[in-house]
Amino acid sequence: MSDTAVPDGNKLVFELKTGKVVIELRPDLAPLAAERLKLLASEGFYDGVKFHRVIEGFMAQGGDPTGTGTSGSSYPDLKAEFTNAAKFERGTVGMARTMAPNSANSQFFIMFAASPHLNGQYTIVGQVTEGMEYVDQLKRGSGAGGVVKDPDIIVKAYVEA
């Protein structure tokens, strides 16, 4: 594992070119995923990472260091932490994965709108509490996959107490 100490706070901050997005992490729902996001942010993993997949009316996805949607961190994949105690609503942050339920790693997505079909199928790790207007300004992708040409990036990510 890492030598980096995981910060105590549960506020994950993404500084975008347009402003600051604050995410209240939910370790009560997804302790493994919340811990992973905090660890990666504290290591600088997300600094400069692209929002590589952005679909109008659905979600913005980031967290892949290659910007392709096919990679993650060097840490092992996480066990699924699905719940029915929270729903995928506007501003909900979920963990991206492959078709395999236990494949979440570093990629996440932020919902533009409610998506009930995701409920109980993906790990909910947090909720945007400030700066959703900046998420709304992310450059959109095209096609069914929402792949973005010249995508927006996370300038800096860190954890606040």
List CB contacts of 65: < 8 A, sequence separation 6 or more. Answer: 45, 49, 71, 72, 73, 106
Across residues 125-151, what is the average pLDDT? Answer: 96
What's the angle, vertex CA 121, arms to CA 144 and CA 161, rounded to 5? 100
Residue 117 — φ and ψ, nearest 5°? -65, -15
DSSP H or E segment with residue 159:
strand 156-160
**Residue tagged 């901050």 (tokens):** 13
Residues 90, 110: Cα–Cα separation, whole Å:
8
pLDDT band at 4 (very low <50, low <70, confident <90, very high): low
Per-residue pLDDT reduced to its tens digit, 130-139 = 999 999 999 9
Q: What single letter denotes the amino acid at residue 141?
A: G
pLDDT band at 8 (very low <50, low <70, confident <90, very high): confident
DSSP H or E segment with residue 136:
helix 132-136
Q: Quick one: pLDDT at residue 6?
A: 82
Per-residue pLDDT reduced to its tens digit, 16-67 = 999 999 999 999 999 999 999 999 999 999 999 999 999 999 999 999 999 9
Q: Quick one: pLDDT at residue 71?
A: 97
User: Strand, helix or coil at 42?
Assistant: helix
Q: Quick one: pLDDT at residue 1?
A: 47
Q: Is the pLDDT at 2 greater than 60, yes or no?
A: no
pLDDT higher at 4 or 53: 53
Q: Residue 152, Cβ neighbours under 10 Å: how many?
A: 21
Contact 154, 15 (CB under 8 A): yes
Q: What is the dihedral of CA 123, 111, 149, 19, to 10 degrees?
A: -110
